[in-house]
Structure 1
Amino acid sequence: MEKHTKVCVTGGSSFLGSWLIKKLLQKGYTVHATLRNLADPVKSGLLKGLPNADTLLRLFEADIYNADEFGRAIQGCHYVIHMATPLQHDPSKGTQFKDTSEAAVAGIKSIVQSCNRSGTVKRLIYTASVVAASPLKEDGTGFKDLADESCWTPLKVPFKYSIDSSTAYVHSKTLSEKEVFTHSSEIEIVSIACGLVGGDTLVSPMPQSMGMLISQPTKNMMSYQMLRFLEELLGKVPFLHIEDVCEAHIFCIEHPSINGIFLCASSYLITSAEIAGHFQENHPDINLRKEFVENSRRTITWGSTKLTDVGFEYKFNAKMILEDTLKYAQKIGEFDPSFKGFN
């Protein structure tokens, strides 16, 4: 199947995109990958250097701020995995969008239209985020008892520990993920709402999500505040390994028929205090300062089994994810037991 199957991956040079493309090429899929700038030697070189890239990979230039550009990359493909998303608003790209939310919504609308026009696309797989699926009550007074695919993040309540960029990201992902299912389409549409991703990476510097998972032992207060933001938004800290993220996307390619929203996290009842406890128990040489350990003592049940119900299996548990993330930081020299913290 793979040798005759073309997959388009938008945002191909990203943390998730590059690892997914590596896996797809290993399996023999033909891949159309988009980058914002083909002239960037680092990002294009990363993808061109992957095994099988010389015969199975084709690169296209496309920017979410001009989403019609994705049509060329999508044409002729059987599956589209949409990972590209604007993380920071760039007014220099044009004045048609006032913020990242407008750009992301317009982007997914254009992607769906391009898939419909292609005549070849069978399924659109949208890389979503659990930040759009908060079990917070609409009035912000507390959490629902259950976190599952029926939850949508309320956007009119303040988020604890939030800064402008994190609030903008939550709004952008929530609005765009709602948008993807508002369009009538002859293709199947799948939304994979991923938790915080750890493990390993092909890109440099270390991705933000990996930094958040090891923010306590690395004494990185900015990353720790973002971890606490996620915990206060979702009640707990759902996370998973980069390998499981990519295998979930490939599972959604290879499944005979699948559609709808799927929350994706192998570890989902973990608090930031329990993450700290893991490092303290398994690495006694790591001295965690008290300002990096706060216990919310909150009880929330993860009610999502949709992905495993259709046959997907996670390979990595919480301990494996945290250890692999820490191991990567040690490998690149960003962490050692005597480390005092980032400047």
Structure 2
Amino acid sequence: MEHYGFKGLVCVTGASGYLASWLVKRLLLSGYSVRGTVRDPGNYKKVEHLWKLEGAKERLQLVKADLMEEGSFDDAVMGCEGVFHTASPVLGPKSDPKAEILDPAINGTLNVLRSCKKNPSLRRVVLTSSSAAVRARDDFDPKIPLDESSWSSIELCTRLKVWYALSKTLAERAAWEYANENKMDLVTVLPSFVVGPSLPHDLCSTASDVLALLKGDTEKFSWHGRMGYVHIDDVARCHVLVYEDTSAWGRYLCSSKVLDNSELASLLAERYPSLPIPRRFESFLGDRPYYEFNTSKLRKLGWEPKGIEEMFDNCIASLKEQGYFL
């Protein structure tokens, strides 16, 4: 008989990823047993950071699963009371956005939910979506902050070839449709741009973009324009919170502060004068519409985010520790 943590067994998909690793860390610290899915549990270099987490040796299992393989998650989710689906493609498409980004996001989400449906122990599914599924639209009033009732425009995302936002929007819509049809308890978390320490040594695209900016290369951030930012640990805590709080329902925007590129650049250049961060840089997309996020729904559950300074302080300290600064 397997011994589970006092809070029971939960599953985290794509467990070795940037955000998922933090979620695994938070769940273990909270007393859960965690079954994480990865593409190759035997690839020690990709998963060693997970085995170093407190409680991992006693309460972590890693199992193999593939987003694009139907039924691949059946064994992983069986017996779990909660499933956190975080795995999703992020990298920009090289040639075929449908095959590289859209299909894995939508079909991968549905594959996980179909496996969840077969599990009689299931209490709730928490899906990681993105604020990109809220803010890519051109018909809102900039004076009214965007909230969970807003959805990105599929037509606009397609026309502008904003494949990441399109994949997140379509995957979340598909998840809601499936959950409603199958009376499944689903909650979705919509983080803005995630900043903070990376547990995996190999940086994901998000962490790589931040590192490049701190070294003076603004190219990736020049695609941002106006953007919300949030500390990675706040996003992990938000996932645990909406899973545990029985009153949680629907979508939850998870963001600390929204800034224009020029505001971010001047704040960072001033705070870290020894780094070659430019004092201002332009957006490739021209002026993006002004918007703010209304995160009162999440704050009502007791969630309070860290500020922009703390998320970048923690991120820089972690990058230095991992040897990314000379």
Shorter chain as denominator, the TM-score bin is: 0.7 to 0.9
Pairing partner for 2:188 from 187, 191, 212: 191
Q: How does 1:137-216 map to 2 (within 5 A)?
A: 137=138, 145-157=144-156, 167-183=162-178, 184-213=181-210, 215-216=212-213
SS at match of 1:81: strand
Structure 2 partner of 1:240: 230
Q: How far does residue 60 in structure 1 lie from its aligned partner after superposition? A: 1.1
Tell me the secondary structure at the aligned position of residue 146 of structure 1: coil
1:216-253 Cα deviation digits (max 9, x unpaired): 4311244323xxx233xxxx311111111111111122
Letter in 2 for 1:171: L
Aligned-residue offset at 1:31: 0.7
Greater shift after overlay, 319-328 or 66-75? 319-328
TM-score normalised according to structure 1 size: 0.82
Q: CA deviation at 1:303?
A: 2.7
Inter-partner Cα distance in structure 2 for 1:288 and 1:44: 32
The correspondence for 2:251, drawn from 230, 251, 261, is: 261
**TM-superposed deviation, 1:11:** 0.4
Corresponding residue to 1:22 among 4, 22, 25: 25
Deviation track 1:186-242 (CA, whole Å, cap 9, x = no partner) reads: 3311000011111111112233223434544311244323xxx233xxxx3111111
Which residue, out of 236, 256, 277, partners 2:266? Answer: 277
1:158-207 per-position Cα deviation (integer Å, ceiling 9, x unaligned)? 699x7x7xx32222111001111102233311000011111111112233
| Deviation of the 1:67 alpha carbon | 4.0
CA distance in 2: counterparts of 1:40 and 1:90, whole angstroms? 25
CA contact (8 A) 2:198 2:315 kept: no
Pairing 1:79–2:82 present = yes
Residue identity matched to 2:224: L
- What is the number of equivalent residue pairs in this alignment? 317
Distance in 2, matches of 1:114 and 1:10, equals 12
CA–CA distance in 1 between the matches of 2:292 and 2:235?
22
Query: Paired residue for 2:103?
Result: 102
Q: CA RMSD in A?
A: 3.0
| CA displacement 1:292-315 (0-9 Å, x = unmatched) | 35695954232331111233222x
Q: Taking structure 2 as the reference length, what is the TM-score of the superposition? A: 0.86
Separation in 2 of the partners of 1:309 and 1:27? Answer: 21
Cα distance in 2 for partners of 1:19, 1:300 equals: 28
| SS of residue paired to 1:39 | coil
Which 5+ residue runs of structure 2 have no aligned equivalent? none
Q: Give the letter for the 2:36 counterpart.
A: A
Distance change >3 Å, CA 289–CA 310, structure 1 → 2: closer
Q: Which residue of the partner structure matches residue 325 of structure 2?
A: 335
The answer to whether the 8 Å contact 1:7/1:30 transfers is: yes
Q: 1:317 to 1:87 in 2, by over 3 A?
A: closer
2: distance between equivalents of 1:40 and 1:248?
29
Say if 2:69 and 2:111, in contact at 8 Å, map to a contact too. no
Percent of pairs identical after alignment?
Answer: 25
Q: Residue 38 and residue 284 in structure 1: after superposition, are their counterparts in 2 closer, same or farther (change >3 A)?
A: closer
What SS does the aligned partner of 1:169 have? helix
Describe the superposition over 1:129-170 as per-residue Cα deviations: whole angstroms up to 9, x where unpaired. Answer: 1111115225xx99684311122222323699x7x7xx3222
**Cα deviations by residue, 1:262-318 (Å, 9 ceiling, x for unpaired):** 1101123x112111111222233345446735695954232331111233222x111
The 1:71–1:280 alpha-carbon spacing in structure 2 relative to 1, beyond 3 Å, is: same
Contact in 1 for aligned 2:157/2:163 (Cα 8 Å) = no
